[in-house]
Amino acid sequence: MKQLVDILRDSHHLNANGYAALLSAPEGDATAYLRQQAQQVAVDSFGHGIFVRGLVEVTNVCRNDCLYCGIRRSNTHVERYTLTHDQVMQSCEAGYRLGFSTFVLQGGELPRDKAQWIEQLVADIKASWPECAITLSLGEWSYEVYKRWLEAGADRYLLRHETHNPAHYAMLHPANMSQQNRLQCLEALKELGYQVGTGIMVGSPGQTVDHLVEDIQYIERLKPHMIGLGPFVPHHDTPLAHHPTGSADLTTRLYAIFRLMFPKALIPSTTALNSIHPEGRLMGIRAGANVVMPNLSPAAVRDRYSLYDGKASTHAEAAEGINQLEQQLAPIGYHIDWGRGDAPNFCKNNSHNMNNL
């Protein structure tokens, strides 16, 4: 098994059986070696700096109905909100003062006539803090809308593909949502020249090792700049409420596999991981993650952006708790890197120039 780790580290690739073997091995020396090699590769790429991104949860309104998600359209128990333009600007301002140089605007999928509102927001954030990067994570929109947002100043886009297996996708989404559309969105974002992030929930209901191998192979082909993975965590008001929480160990094992595949990719140690395990943040970093995304949303709305039960949004998970994050990182020899942390060798007009990833 350790040999497989060495091959993956040196060639950044395994065949399907190799990935399946790494995913199904019991926890032990080999998986410890996998994480340790991944951490070393991340240190070789980025040193001991961890990039931070300030997350602004702009809305919990959503036109989609994903079966796993707490803010799905059919959940009538959600008290819906959309931040005002000023509230988003104030959140970014607060983040800027704390030292953030990337703002991530995330939310449910707003009605289509809100595209203009987002465009204005992006333009105003860019005008106010031109040196900062803007990441959007607002779901599925048309090529034209993505283009307008890019031209307004957006730099990056996070859109997890969630699962590459069509039958599994159909288990997690209503019939009127199309996997093909989601994959086309990712193609459009790449073609336009965004720095693109994709990923999955680990342990989502019905997920098998074969599905994970398909996901790995899809990500291998897409070559995203960012790879976002968190455990599935049930939300009590969804049809998947009774499915078990995904495994923290498998999540960090996947961080390590992706780190060895893509030494320079941006891989966050996610809030979902930190929400299910008190040491989640550090476990992610010890498996090769190099980004964390503290919450910059106004405190009053944080509880309402509830994608899953028990979501952490205070202390080191909150932007105002940034000192606590520093204090968590220091004992393991890491520090916050306040830089923009763009994917290396990124060239805005040449989305195919990613050979170094």
**Contacting positions for ligand SAH (CB under 6 A):** 68-69, 106, 108-109, 137, 139, 159-160, 162, 201, 230, 232-233, 235, 272, 307-308
Least distance to ligand SAH, CB of residue 307, Å: 4
How many C-alpha atoms does 89 have within 13 Å on its Cβ side?
Answer: 14
Closer to ligand SAH at the Cβ: 41 or 71?
71
Least distance to ligand SAH, CB of residue 326, Å: 26
Closer to ligand SAH at the Cβ: 192 or 307?
307
Closer to ligand SAH at the Cβ: 263 or 294?
294
Closer to ligand SAH at the Cβ: 48 or 63?
63
Dist CA 231 CA 252 (whole Å): 9
Q: How far apart are the first and last CA of the chain?
A: 25
Least distance to ligand SAH, CB of residue 333, Å: 29
In the chain, where does DSSP find H-type helix? 2-11, 16-24, 29-46, 85-98, 115-128, 143-152, 166-172, 179-192, 209-222, 248-261, 271-276, 280-285, 299-302, 322-329
Closer to ligand SAH at the Cβ: 37 or 295?
295
Among 117, 103, 140, CA closest to 297:
103
Residue with nearest beta carbon to ligand SAH: 308
- Cβ within 8 Å of residue 351, ≥6 positions away: 190, 191, 192, 193, 194, 196
Least distance to ligand SAH, CB of residue 161, Å: 9
Tally of CB atoms within 10 A around 226: 22
Q: Assess contact for 58 and 107: CB atoms under 8 A.
A: yes
Closer to ligand SAH at the Cβ: 5 or 296?
296
Q: Assess contact for 233 and 246: CB atoms under 8 A.
A: yes
Closer to ligand SAH at the Cβ: 108 or 280?
108
Closer to ligand SAH at the Cβ: 95 or 230?
230
Among 142, 135, 312, CA closest to 228:
135
Q: 87: which 2 tokens?
A: 């509230």
Q: Assess contact for 185 and 179: CB atoms under 8 A.
A: no
Closer to ligand SAH at the Cβ: 230 or 263?
230
- Cβ within 8 Å of residue 122, ≥6 positions away: 105, 134, 136, 149, 152, 153, 154
Among 35, 36, 25, 27, CA closest to 1:
25
Least distance to ligand SAH, CB of residue 302, Å: 15
Dist CA 72 CA 123 (whole Å): 28
Least distance to ligand SAH, CB of residue 229, Å: 9
